[in-house]
Amino acid sequence: MIYFDNAATSGKKPQTVINSVNYALKNLSANPGRSGHFASQIAATEVYKVRQKVSDFFGSNGAESVVFTYNCTISINMVLKGILKNGDHIIISDMEHNAVTRPLNKMKIDYTMANVSLVDDKQTVENFKNAIRPNTKMVFCTAASNVLGKILPLDEIGKFCKQKGLLFGVDAAQGAGLIPINMKKMNIDFLCIAAHKGLYCPMGLGILIARTPINNTIIEGGTGTNSIEQNQPDYLPEKLESGTLNLPAIYSLKAGINFVENKMNCILKHENALVKQLYDLLKKENVIFYTNPYNFGYVPVICFNVDDLQSEKVAEFLNKSGFALRAGLHCAPTAHKKIGTLQYGAVRFSPSIFNTDKEVYMLVKAIKKLKNL
């Protein structure tokens, strides 16, 4: 199976990440922050080192601002439900994942979807600015669309959020590890991350980095300290970290960040080259693409459809031919509405650093075969 579904999760992990998970399972099997014995203290110290590494990598305030969660969706829920209340207004983009829109709908929070221009970042920023109302409390947007690959101008959005006194939250599920994100420089208050995508860790680990306090919690429970107190602690990270942590995944995060830290540009360049290769070869075959990878500011994600075939049928054919790609709406119906594919979805191609141009040629050959059936 040739895996091109890395926007869902990185299919192949670096050996250093695998080694770290193994090491943690063998040597760090004590509960961090729950006991006083040396094994627990060693485990807690390793978790702390990873918090520091994450904070440094994403330009945050320090280890205590880094909260480990179960996945990026939980992190986003923690931000939205922890900050917003009835009467607040929030601005999101028109490419958000259901992880953002569903909590807002459940909470009955009033939101405006700002249109993201696929070619003009200045226009995008203007659209966000124009959506501000007197009761706007926050801007929350994706770092890069999981459907269209478009990177949002976080720098500029952060700048105006600071000027207007708005909180700024970012869903970096698709951006973390691929594009540089510095919370201080970009004025980001809350950064939500899926460790298993661009940071190459196992599934079951999300990250929430909070440079600003979060008022309310959505999960309460044991934190390993001050057990006699029946209210949730009011300090990070423990306030948002009830229950036992996923230590093997957390320990491997250090290796994941080390893997991307010094070659982020190379990773992006390689993966975007594969996207362009697919685009060039299939354009000739009249395959429909919804974005142009030669435009500025895209992560390596591109959607296409083949003739009038349903996207799920195309993905099914490709699966049987040995290729893993995801079809449908990718949990982001607003992005599909934007490109007119809400009814039948599209097939998403998302390569990783481990894919090769030969594999792309093989995929193209399979799609040509489908077209000729």
Partner 1 sequence: MQRHIISVNSITYAIKGRDLLRKQGFRAYIERKTNANGNAGCGYVIIANGNKNKIINALLEAGINIVDVNTVV
Site mask for partner 1 (CB under 8 A), range 19-48, x = bound: -------------xx-xx----x--xx--x
Q: Where are the alpha helices (DSSP H) in the chain?
A: 15-27, 38-57, 72-83, 98-107, 121-130, 154-164, 183-186, 247-261, 264-283, 311-320, 333-339, 357-371
In the complex, least distance from residue 217 CB atom to partner 1, rounded to whole angstroms: 15
In the complex, least distance from residue 62 CB atom to partner 1, rounded to whole angstroms: 7
* Measured distance CA(296)–CA(47) in Å, rounded: 38
Nearer to partner 1, 231 or 286 (CB): 231
Q: Of the listed pieces 62-70, 211-219, 258-266, 356-364, which binds partner 1 according to CB under 8 A?
A: 62-70
**How far separated are the first and last CA of the chain, in Å rounded?**
22
Which structure tokens are listed for 321? 């031919």
Nearer to partner 1, 5 or 46 (CB): 46
In the complex, least distance from residue 15 CB atom to partner 1, rounded to whole angstroms: 29
- Is 300 near partner 1 (CB under 8 A)? no
In the complex, least distance from residue 246 CB atom to partner 1, rounded to whole angstroms: 16
* Measured distance CA(302)–CA(300) in Å, rounded: 7
In the complex, least distance from residue 128 CB atom to partner 1, rounded to whole angstroms: 32
In the complex, least distance from residue 212 CB atom to partner 1, rounded to whole angstroms: 14
> How many residues sit in the footprint of partner 1 (CB under 8 A)?
22
In the complex, least distance from residue 70 CB atom to partner 1, rounded to whole angstroms: 19
Partnered with residue 90 across adjacent β-strands are 111, 138
* Measured distance CA(358)–CA(363) in Å, rounded: 9
Nearer to partner 1, 27 or 226 (CB): 226
* Measured distance CA(2)–CA(8) in Å, rounded: 14
Using DSSP's 3-state secondary structure scheme, residue 341 falls into: coil
Q: Of the listed pieces 7-15, 150-158, 166-174, 233-241, which binds partner 1 according to CB under 8 A?
A: 233-241
Contact 297, 150 (CB under 8 A): yes
- Is 293 near partner 1 (CB under 8 A)? no
Considering only residues 236 through 265, tell me which ones interact with partner 1, judged by CB under 8 A: 237-238
**Interior CA angle at 334 toward 331 and 338, to 5°?**
130
- Is 343 near partner 1 (CB under 8 A)? no
Contact 86, 137 (CB under 8 A): no
Nearer to partner 1, 38 or 296 (CB): 38
* Measured distance CA(345)–CA(312) in Å, rounded: 8
In the complex, least distance from residue 240 CB atom to partner 1, rounded to whole angstroms: 12
Contact 58, 179 (CB under 8 A): no
- Is 223 near partner 1 (CB under 8 A)? yes
Strands 206-210 and 190-194: antiparallel
Nearer to partner 1, 56 or 88 (CB): 56
- Is 224 near partner 1 (CB under 8 A)? yes
Only one residue has tokens 């770290």, namely: 20
Using DSSP's 3-state secondary structure scheme, residue 226 falls into: coil
- Is 206 near partner 1 (CB under 8 A)? no
In the complex, least distance from residue 41 CB atom to partner 1, rounded to whole angstroms: 6
Of the candidate residues 56, 64, 88, 94, the single one contacting partner 1 (CB under 8 A)? 64
Nearer to partner 1, 69 or 73 (CB): 69
* Measured distance CA(64)–CA(171) in Å, rounded: 20
The residue ranges that bind partner 1 (CB under 8 A) are 32-33, 35-36, 41, 44-45, 48, 51, 62-64, 223-228, 233, 235, 237-238
